[in-house]
Amino acid sequence: MTETAVESKSQQAYAAVKARIVEGTYTPGYRLVLAGLAKDLGFSVVPVREAIRRLEAEGLVKFERNVGATVSGIDPTEYLYTMQTLSIVEGAATALSAPLIGEADIARARAVNEEMRDCLQHFDPIRFTRLNQDFHSVLFEHCPNPHILDLVHRGWNRLASLRSSTFRFVPGRAHDSVDEHEALLKLIETGADADTIEKAARLHRSATLDAYLAQAKNI
Amino acid sequence: MTETAVESKSQQAYAAVKARIVEGTYTPGYRLVLAGLAKDLGFSVVPVREAIRRLEAEGLVKFERNVGATVSGIDPTEYLYTMQTLSIVEGAATALSAPLIGEADIARARAVNEEMRDCLQHFDPIRFTRLNQDFHSVLFEHCPNPHILDLVHRGWNRLASLRSSTFRFVPGRAHDSVDEHEALLKLIETGADADTIEKAARLHRSATLDAYLAQAKNI
DNA sequence: CCATAGTGATTCGTATACGATTTCGTACTC
DNA sequence: GAGTACGAAATCGTATACGAATCACTATGG
């Protein structure tokens, strides 16, 4: 059986369009025409349409009735909102996960963080951001509440589509970030109470946001 | 121009099905057959399909590929997850709203709460729950972050579809709830710091959840 | 008597087709 | 010359139709 459990075309279309948005092929403001995408992907318009609506629900595209869809812009306030929301749900997710994080997880996270530290020398924002996501994934993936976890994932997705790397804009933030990661790990290791961990995780993200805002103001 | 700006059939279908779920016509576990709904509403299956997918995204229905959709169950863990998530996002929304809440809003919320207090005599869980939502709406509707506000609305929607009223199950909780509301108002009036308000709002909801869980354990 | 394979019915998934709406360009009038 | 109205092109919205997957029931063999 070459049973590849083929995904539905809606899903394929969803994944394809999403990938193109995230990787930057479709830049913000890009007009997504249903018929065009359909012909391009080799599907009919119906699955494409459904894919677009899903992307709309996630906020990656804006859809206007009888007009069409466009890739969501990097409106700075949009970035702000997303980061703020993520700071809240990620903080909660991390706090809920903390009691379920084992030594192996800690070790893995620490290894990733060391890799990030190395990365500080010949700085590569994209790679750094990727490692950053890996690091945080270890911390929140054990969250026992699937709804919250889903919100965290959506937040990260949205961020990825908004800009490929925040650290490209505020490289100075990277150094502090690594230190805060280590502090966060220590808190979890020592079994700090949930509230402390939540605050730390939330502040960690808020700090990145603030750094960005301070930077943006100077432009 | 009697142009009533007719909504698209997808939207109509969405609203119709959602209404039937919330009002209880379609009970949890009910099988939603696309063709059946379409014939029933007088539409084709395509808009109905899209409506179902939207409802799926909101968590009101579960959808399985090549099988069909069913109304989401009142799985107790599902209720728990939803309440926990709502406690977090609503707490944050309330704290972010607090500085923007004026005296008029406070007065309105207080009036609603008094109505709830009256309602305690000849207790009507449905009415009480409705007032409860009105009360909290005043507190979080000023939230300047639309994403968070959206999450709060989704949470309330989900709760409404899961059970028409939590207070039907734990009537004893209603009395405490009213008192906590007043305490919350005092905090906002006196300009307490965001963290205090957030904690209070979160605990307020957690307490309802705990009351339900304690009750459920005894069944 | 139970397990398993086959068959039919039901329902979903997608393609194609056509009607509805918006948008943009052009021509006409003031 | 500018503004408005008309019309054509482009695109979305929905209906219908058919193929594909799943499930329940039955019959057959162990």
Nucleic strand D under 7 Å from the C-beta of B15 = no
- Interface contact flag, B85 A148, Cβ < 8 Å: yes
Q: What is the pLDDT of residue A219?
A: 60
Report how far residue A73's alpha carbon sits from residue A79's, in angstroms, rounded to the nearest whole number: 9
User: Whole-number mean pLDDT of chain A?
Assistant: 90
A91 touches A52 (CB < 8 A): no
Whether residue B191 lies within 8 A of chain A, CB to CB, comes out as: no
Percent above pLDDT 90 for chain A: 68
Q: Which nucleotides of D are covered by protein (CB under 7 A)?
A: 10-17, 21-23
The pair of structure tokens assigned to B205 is: 């909801």
pLDDT at B4 over 50: no
Q: In chain B, which residues have their Cβ closer than 8 Å to the Cβ of A147?
A: 59, 81-82, 84-85
User: Strand C and chain B: which residues 6-65 have CB closer than 7 Å?
Assistant: 6, 32-36, 45-46, 49, 65
- In this structure, the strands spanning B68-71 and A31-32 are unpaired
Residue B147 CB neighbour total at 10 angstroms: 24
Which residue among A50, A59, A145 sits closest to B53, beta carbon to beta carbon? Answer: A50
Q: What is the pLDDT of residue B125?
A: 83
Nucleic strand D under 7 Å from the C-beta of B44 = yes
B5-9, B24-28, B77-81, B92-96: least confident range: B5-9
- What three-state secondary structure class fits B123? coil
Degrees, nearest 5: CA angle B52-B53-B56: 90
Nucleic strand D under 7 Å from the C-beta of A119 = no
Q: What is the pLDDT of residue A3?
A: 42
Percent above pLDDT 70 for chain B: 95
Q: What is the pLDDT of residue A78?
A: 84
Cα A14 → chain centroid = 17
The C-alpha of B115 sits at a distance from chain A's nearest C-alpha, in angstroms, of: 33
Q: Which has the higher per-residue pLDDT, A58 or B205? A: B205
